[in-house]
Amino acid sequence: MAGVKQEVSAHDVVIVPAGTQHQFENTGDTPLELITVYSPAEHDYKSVHKTKEEGDEEEETGKDEAPEWSQKSKKENEKAGLVKEKGGPYENE
């Protein structure tokens, strides 16, 4: 992160401050599970990339763009009827 390599282990949490250059690389023998949380969203919330190259390509071709609603304020989304009181993002799309 920010040009500094560091090892992390299973169940570790890494917080990347906004605007910090970062790259995660799996150097182990087991699959890496990486869960990211952005606010505001920077990617399509349904995005799953098996490789960095796949993710880069989808960003470059515009296939992995944050939904328009994610760039608006809660107040704007409430006014548009887009704020849900319960349920997840995949319900009733």
Per-position pLDDT tens, the chain of length 93: 878 888 888 888 888 887 788 888 888 898 888 887 777 677 887 888 888 899 889 989 988 888 888 888 888 888 898 877 776 655 555
Q: Which domain holds residue 63?
A: 33-78
Q: Per the domain annotation, does 5 fall within a domain?
A: no
Give a yes or no: residue 88 inside a domain.
no
pLDDT value at position 61? Answer: 93
**Chain length of the chain:** 93
Is there a domain that residue 86 lies in?
Answer: no
Do residues 1 and 22 touch, judged by C-beta distance below 8 A?
yes
Q: Is residue 46 assigned to a domain?
A: yes
The total number of structural domains that make up the chain: 1
Residue 55 domain-assigned (yes or no): yes
pLDDT at 89: 59
In a domain, 66, yes or no: yes
Give domain status of residue 57, yes or no.
Answer: yes
For residue 25, is it within any domain?
A: no
Half-sphere exposure of 10 (CA within 13 A, CB side): 4
